[in-house]
Structure 1
Amino acid sequence: MTAERTLSVPGIAYGGDYNPEQWPEEVWAEDMRLMREAGVNMVSVGIFSWALLEPSEGEYDFSRMDRILELLHENGIAADLATPTAAPPAWFFRAHPEALPVDRDGRTLSYGSRQTFCPSSPAYREAALRIAGALAERYADHPALAMWHVHNEYACHNAECYCDTSAASFRRWLREKYGDLAALNHAWGTTFWSQWYYDWDEILPPRPTGAVPNPTHQLDWRRFCSDELLSLYKAEREVLLAAAPSIPATTNFMVMYNFDALDYWRWAPELDIVSNDHYLQSADPESEIDVALSGDLVRSLAGGPWLLMEHSTGAVNWQHVNRAKRPGELRRNALAHVAHGADGIAYFQWRQSKAGAEQWHSAMVPHAGTDSQIWRDVVRLGADLKALAEVRGSTGTAEVAIVWDWNSRWAMELPSQPSAELRFQDLVRAWYEPLWREGVAVDFVRPDADLSAYRLVLAPSLYLVDDAGAANLTGFAERGGTLAVGFHSGAVDENAHARLGGYPGAFREALGVRSDELFPLLPGEQVSLSGGGTGALWSERLRLEGAEAVTSYTDGPLTDVPAVTRHAHGEGTAWYLATQPDPATLASLLTRIRTEAGVESAATAPEGVEVIRRRSPSADYLFVIDHAGRGAEVTVAQDAVELLTGKPAPGVVTVGPGEVAVVREPRRG
């Protein structure tokens, strides 16, 4: 968020996607009354309205949007006004069929849903900038306008297009990156399998081929696809900001479990306000952990508070089984996002659709109307957020950082790895979860980030790292910090070339170990560890070169070989985990590591009770969330106040089963 362009909505923003075009106009007045009842103060409008705003090329009809914005303004509700470019109308594709996307197998996809365009299409870019410019010209000075919402969920359905237009754009991107073919051939290692390129036009997207495609080719393709969509965002943003330079612009990220298409470290600096969409996975029995992880990652991308642009009041419509939220879960989820840095809470959508592809996706006003538990929860949440207005702008308090890198994720999950069982986010969550359970605050960082604020840095999965990133992390330990590295890290450089001389590559010296061969484990296979516990997924023949063995294998081909090591590096300490310990063993190990690093939890709480702290110059805000449903008491300051009730909480706060408390503790000193 820039100092020049900030959100003018007071307190915690609350609302959702508002799509009144789906309903008769007589419903709109009822919407306004219900929004006021629920405490809604900002809604996103126009996200999928292109066909109505521009019924034919260059012909505009703003009459409906004019009435909607006036109605919102009259009722004191701010507008997050979207460019509708995620869903081009049918007339556009009839005029420009070449703008349709082509999938990896060469099939041209049809229009009839959303994001059915090629990101490299000149015709699409021209049309998108035209509608964005028309909106900006008409509404730049509208009193309801609080924020520009650029596009919607970039890459949700068209992260990659394999058409000839995309191929030409890919070649231009490669020319800019490498300068000449000699540099590209070196970076891609094209001497292997006779893949040497003599002409730029010989280079194609990584379309299906008879065997495994070149890994660096695939990696650069992922980088290009992320950058190509980013260029669209930046182009629309510039059109909007030229017309309204004081209005902030955002687009909604999708930092959630199953989405990895965009390198959000590159995107985040381009947003005035970072916002995110997050949806629970029905099959996850502890989805509250993913809420926390996602919130911490988005807060880290933003460098402070952020906005939750979409989540659900209940079930979604796109999973195999779309479960409803459990009693109290709507409130717990929303306030957990606030605990992890959100200054705004919004849903998809305001009123549940009667027709269309998302008619079974829950909303703030469900099909059942206001005589429903969802509506009662929505109204209660609005009152909660109003009571938490002073929390806005406060920040996190983490002394622990976890390294997260999209390039490394993409590279590790390419084909022909030592094990196809490795999933980046699963590995990160395995390390994050014990910290979450113990109330230890966490930031996420790039490998090259400033680490001076942290006592402990964890790199659970950093397969790819460049020299600068590796030096930054090992230098952190050398200067007195504690660094813990997971297996298969440091293995390749930024071009996905293996680092020679033994594993774990870039981290060998700092970790004080060397491995000459990898022994990945089969699905379900385990190895026993000294001191109890087991390891899974991975093992390797590790030799100590200055480090001490903390845990060793006690069976299998690597009996007595170190599995976990500790090494004094400079003024600090570097740990290496050469396997994936079972959850209890990993939790115990991480408790030892962070205790030695001097990192304490936010507060002591029973199992299943999340405790997280936000901090302002004058106060700490302690969020206590009972996910277990048993209730709890947590020790707080003698002069603490519980904000949701407004009552003093001298020395202790009591949280009812499945409930939430937010305690203000005045800062001292």
Structure 2
Amino acid sequence: MQSHTGNTEHRAERRTWRHDGIAFGCDYNPEQWDPEVWPEDVRLMREAGVDLVAINIFGWSQINPRKGTFDFTALDAVMGLLAEAGIRVNLGTATASPPPWLSTLHPEILPVADDGTTRYPGGRQAWCPSSPVFRRYALALVEQVAERYGSHPNVELWHVSNELGCHNALCHCAESTASFRRWLEQRYGTIAELNRAWGTSFWSQRYDDWAEILTPMRNLSTRNPGQVLDFHRFSSDELLGYYRAEAEVIRARSAAPITTNFMVTAHIRNLDYFSWASEMDVVANDHYLDNRLADPTTELAFAADLTRGIAGGEPWILMETSTSAVNWQPHNIAKARGEMTRNAVQHIARGADGICFFQWRASAQGSEKFHSALLPHAGTDSDVWREVVDLGGLIGRLDEVTGTRVAADTAVLFSWDAWWATDADNRPSHAVEYLEQVHAAYAALRATGATIDVVHPGADLSGYKIVVVPALYSVTDEAAANLDAFVAAGGTTLVTFYSGIVDEYDRVRLGGYPGAFAELLGIRVQEFAPLGPDDEVRLASGARARLWSEHLALTTAEAVDTFVDGPAAGIPAVTRNAHGEGSAWYLATRPDAADYRSLVARIADEAGVTPPAGAGADLELVRRTGDGRSYLFAVNHGAEPVVVDGVGFDLVTSTTVDGDVTVPAFGIRIIREEAA
């Protein structure tokens, strides 16, 4: 997929990542420990079954302690210890966090927030993505690392920077402003076209010269939404350009595959990973259970399914996760016994061919000293360590699963553009947030037992029976036509409220909502009627709903359910339209969870989606298949044992199964299925 500029830059030929089975790995930061500890670390890694270690992620100040000085003595020693132990290396470029000497010499590399204030060193990622000075020093470091280890036989994978854009994606300094102008000129060609795209006739914002354009700094009112949207696109592309620069240095010196760790998670939205995917030799993601959410387990499943969608259905790597508590949430909840294993298996079930943790040994100092690790502060005499060893053994038994793919006949459409555009300064209801609506639709589908691909609106939809489109506020003509063709060819779609409203420039599609999807859905909405934060409405079916209603009229659709009360009383709330050979459903409100699930189950049943018997919110049943192999993953999140149908060999218990298979409370089973 192209970047947002439409620039079809040459992409290097993709390299294949190969690992002997499912990788079981971790980040290792030996610079935090006395060298006398390193041999013991490596011995314990072998005991746990760790076979892939990410090192030199934050090593800049160690290997480049001052300008012009490079010292690889310590890194050479660690590389040697790992090689001797047969543990492969995911080698970082060390550029994630510049050392203090660099920002002291060049304070101009520091990022600037939208209030115009500089952000200073003392944490991490204290650099501007557009800074040519930073890039010059960083690429010089990458060149040194790649020259030294480019042909090292133990380097399995290159790890560019770390969590790019986690903290510094949106910079407003002078360099960023100049780069933003260049990006806009490449995108629009003329000032007149930019003025049209941004609607600058509003509030007398018309530009006459590129030099007049700033980044969307904080101001006294609200910002131009087109400008804000393009700044998000620019910022994603700018960091992608930085990734390419590092990767180019590595490719000239090493044949090993290259990646970086994405952050497909509930609280990071800065980068459009669909536009990044083709640059990765293998897609990798960091994910941590987010206990700030009402249903963190479902969010984990969603993030894994989205990561697989970004990877085009191919296997991917979980580059970071936690054994137990993290350190950055308001309440850092420790995982219950067995939860780490269930979480890891959830990711593998959804296509991960590698499970890696942050980090190997829990830090004694620094900002992450209370972040859990494979080797906790309590040492090896701990429940966490014992579960780590057990998990390593299980992953070793799953090696045969490598390379298989997840089978799904249901899809949810997801778009970073829609996320950025929806969560704008001014909108009909601030209670309606994009990701929350996506999560609600996904949770309803997951509760039916469906296996779900989360894909881009422009993806090939032909292999699905049902496609759910939650709150796709911003959509291109091409993506709208893609969904239309899917339904016309016999597919079923469910489109939810606040979809199809604007084009890619955040320009309202006139003539009545839902704009791009009005003909497909056979409806016309005259006006939104959002509900108050505490309001609830009833539907004729008995369902209850919140957040939203609207003044909807049928054109070719039929009413399936109707608002009984509220501002849209007597008006259809759920509609169905025959379109070509398929069906297009519309949902004009947000049902409560149980009612949402019932509606989705009805639609899925009509579409011929048949989830595995017993699958649902508490029992995940997911298949990975390929080359004549089939594996059924059963993950029980409930407090009671459940029985599933399985014939074959259970890789968890190493026993043959024939018929009823008991999955213990909070337990897992992974069955190599016999051919029918």
**Aligned-residue offset at 1:437:** 2.4
Task: Tell me which residue corresponds to 1:266.
Answer: 275
Query: Does the Cα contact within 8 Å between 2:449 and 2:616 map onto a contact in 1?
Result: no
Q: Distance in 2 between matches of 1:117 and 1:607?
A: 42
User: What's the secondary structure of 1:650's corresponding residue?
Assistant: strand
Counterparts of residues 592-603 of structure 1 (less than 5 Å): 592-603=602-613
Structure 2 residue 623 is the aligned partner of structure 1 residue 636: no
The two structures, once aligned, show a CA RMSD in angstroms of 1.3
CA contact under 8 A between 1:277 and 1:308: conserved in structure 2?
A: yes
Is 1:399 the equivalent of 2:409? yes
- Secondary structure, aligned partner of 1:575: strand
Q: Select the residue among 39, 49, 63 that pairs with 2:59.
A: 49
Aligned pair 1:551/2:529, yes or no? Answer: no
**1:579 corresponds to which letter in structure 2?**
T
Moved over 6 A (4+): none
**How far has the Cα of 1:109 moved from its partner?**
1.2
Q: Is the 8 A contact 1:617 1:667 kept in 2?
A: no
Matched residues in 1 for 2:610 and 2:72: separation?
56
Q: State the match for 1:660 in structure 2.
A: 668
Q: Deviations over 1:409-433 (max 9, x none)?
A: 1000001100111121211111111
Report matched runs for 1:298-377 at 5 Å: 298-303=307-312, 304-377=314-387
Compared CA separation, residues 175 and 607, structure 1 to 2 (3 A)? closer
TM-score under structure 2 length normalisation: 0.97
Measure the CA separation in 2 of the matches of 1:69 and 1:452: 47
TM-score (norm 1): 0.98
Matched, 1:233 2:243: yes
Is 1:190 aligned to 2:200, yes or no? yes
Paired AA for residue 114 in structure 2: R
Q: Within 5 A, what are the aligned runs for 1:417-428?
A: 417-428=427-438
Q: Deviations over 1:25-45 (max 9, x none)?
A: 111111111011100000000
Residue 508, structure 1, aligned to residue 508, structure 2: no
Distance 2:606 2:506 in 1: 34
Q: Which of the residues 249, 253, 263 maps onto 1:243?
A: 253
Q: Aligned to 1:390, what secondary structure does the other structure show? A: helix
Which of 168, 182, 191 is residue 178 of structure 2 equivalent to? 168
Whether the aligned pair in 2 keeps the contact of 1:605 and 1:632 (CA below 8 Å) is no
Give the whole-Å Cα distance in 2 for the aligned partners of 1:499 and 1:542. Answer: 16
Structure 1 counterpart of 2:665, which letter?
P
Shift of 1:284: 3.1
- Aligned ranges 1:90-239 → 2 under 5 Å: 90-239=100-249
CA contact (8 A) 1:308 1:337 kept: yes
- Report the equivalent of 2:507: 497
Q: CA deviation at 1:158?
A: 0.5
Q: Deviations over 1:537-581 (max 9, x none)?
A: 111100000100000001123221000000001111100001111
Compare 475-484 and 374-383 and name the one that shifted more.
Answer: 475-484
2:305 to 273, 296, 307: 296
**Residues 410 and 464 of structure 2 are in contact (CA less than 8 Å); yes or no, is this contact kept in structure 1?**
yes
Q: Does the 8 Å CA contact 2:325/2:334 hold for their aligned counterparts?
A: yes
Match of 2:3 in 1: none
Instruction: Work out the percentage of aligned pairs sharing the same amino acid.
Output: 49
| Aligned residue type for 1:12 | I
Relative to structure 1, is the Cα distance of residues 607 and 132 closer, same or farther in structure 2, using a 3 angstrom cutoff? closer
Distance across 1 between alignment mates of 2:14 and 2:598: 46
Give 1:254's match in structure 2, choosing from 259, 263, 280. Answer: 263
Residue 488 of structure 1 and its aligned partner are, at CA, apart by 0.8
Distance 2:483 2:48 in 1: 47
Question: 1:558-609: per-residue Cα shift (whole Å, max 9, x none)?
Answer: 2210000000011111000011111111111100111111111133247612
Q: CA deviation at 1:285?
A: 4.6
Whether the 8 Å CA contact 2:446–2:617 is kept in 1: the answer is: no
Do the aligned partners of 1:550 and 1:562 also contact (CA within 8 Å) in 2? yes
DSSP 3-state at the match of 1:279: coil
- For residue 4 of structure 2, what is the aligned residue in structure 1? none
User: Are the counterparts in 2 of residues 605 and 633 from structure 1 also a CA contact under 8 Å?
Assistant: no
Segments of structure 1 that go 5 or more residues without pairing to the other structure are none
Matched letter for residue 534 of structure 2: G
Contact kept in structure 2, 1:70 and 1:144, CA below 8 Å: no
Deviation at 1:439, TM superposition (A): 2.2
Distance in 2, matches of 1:421 and 1:283, equals 17
Query: Alpha carbons of 1:576 and 1:623: their partners in 2 closer, same or farther (altered >3 Å)?
Result: same
Structure 2 residue matching 1:267: 3-state secondary structure: helix
Tell me the amino acid that sits aligned with residue 268 of structure 1.
Answer: A
Could you give the per-residue CA deviations for residues 619-649 of structure 1, whole angstroms, max 9, x where no partner exists?
2111111111211110123xx1101222101
SS in 1 for 2:386: helix
Q: Distance in 2 between matches of 1:447 and 1:478?
A: 16
Q: Secondary structure at the match of 1:649?
A: strand
How far apart are residue 296 of structure 1 and its match?
A: 0.4
Matched-pair contact (CA < 8 Å) for 2:22–2:355: yes
Contact 2:448 2:616 in 1 (8 A): no
